[in-house]
Amino acid sequence: MTTVSTQFVPLTADEFRTRLREALAIYVEAMRYPPGTAEQRAPMWLTHALRDGWRCFAALDADGTMLGVAYGYRGSPGQWWHEQVRRGLVKNTGEEVAGHWLADYFELTEIHVRPRSQAGGIGENLLRRLLDGVPNRHVLLSTPEGPSRAWKLYRRVGFTDVLRDYHFAGDPRPFAILGRELPLEPAAE
């Protein structure tokens, strides 16, 4: 359960830029990336905040420290992730499946919670708030293959396999592309 003192707040692009260092620190810690990854990713995250349909939510503790962050935007042709996923879908499932998923989707680009704050409902709360009111037909995301808390969350809220064991250019790890129709059903009480 999420603690009572956790607040979930939308961040404007300006607020996101102001808190970028904090958000990237969560990303690096949660993904167990090496030092220096944050500096490498910062320009990309700032560019993402300029994309059509971009939105962001943060989870804050009682004193305003960020515990988690989630953001995404409308996916479209010409974006690196879109083109990578399209290539994989066409190769493995055909044009029709690629067209179905990529015609009108929201890309859940990043969702991360500090490891010490995981397993308390923060990730699901961030995901639900981020996707609430998104006008797109589908939501898509990529996640490293293998068992994790993230996998359990995605399955619990109804994400299904779109493409498995996919290798993005420049990353040796296998990823899964998961998706589902929008809107999400209300959270179980």
Provide the strand spans (E) within 75-170. 105-113, 138-144, 160-166
Q: Which two tokens stand for residue 47?
A: 């560019």
| Start-to-end CA span in the chain (Å) | 12
Catalytic: 154? yes
- With contact defined as beta carbons under 8 Å apart, do 132 and 126 qualify? no
**φ, ψ dihedrals at 187, nearest 5°:** -65, 145
Euclidean distance between CA atoms 148 and 109, whole angstroms:
17
Q: Choosing from 27, 71, 73, 154, which is the catalytic residue?
A: 154
**φ, ψ dihedrals at 76, nearest 5°:** -155, 160
Report the amino acid identity of residue 106. Answer: F
Whether residue 183 is preceded by a cis peptide bond, meaning omega within 30 degrees of 0, is: yes
For the annotated catalytic residues, the residue numbers are 154
